[in-house]
Copies of this chain bind each other. A is one copy, B any other.
Amino acid sequence: VSEERNREAVKHLWAVFDAFEFARAAEVLSPDFVCEWPQSRERIRGAADYIALNEGYPGRWRCRLHRLLVDGDRAASLVEVTDGSTTVWASSFYELRDGCIERAVEYWSTPFEPRPGREQWVERF
C-alpha cells in the first residue's frame, strides 16, 4: 500500500508539471523537501522554492513519464521533457514517506552525437 502511494505521488508530480499547474506539486512534496542537481552542484530547499524555480523556468515544457520504479520508500523516474524543439531527459531518484516526497536527486541528459569508431557495434534508431 505504501509503495502504491509512493508511485501515485511521483505520477502526480510529473502530471502537474506537465499541466503547468506547479502549485499542485505541493500536494505530494514535503514542506521541507530538498532537491539536488549534482551536475551543477545546486540544491533547492523547501517545496515552495522548488515550485517557484520550476514556475520561473522560461518556456512551455511537456513532461512525459516513460519509466517509474518504486522500491519501498524510494522511487526512480525517467521523464522526457520537451518544448517541441529541445528534448531533455530527467532521471530522478526520490525518497518518500507515506506518499510524500521528501528528497530528490535529479540528473539531466541532453542529446549527443555518437562517438566515432564504434559503428561496428552500434545501430542507429
Contact = CB atoms under 8 A, between A and B. Distances in A.
Contacts of A67: 74, 76, 93, 105
Interface residues of A, number: 42
B76 A112 contact: no
A63 interface: no
A125 to B, nearest CB: 5
Contact of A124 (B41, B107, B123, B125): B41
A75 B36 CA distance: 22
A119 B76 CA distance: 27
B39 A124 contact: no
B107 A49 contact: no
Contacts of A43: 122-125
A-B CB proximity, top 3 nearest: A91-B91, A76-B76, A69-B71
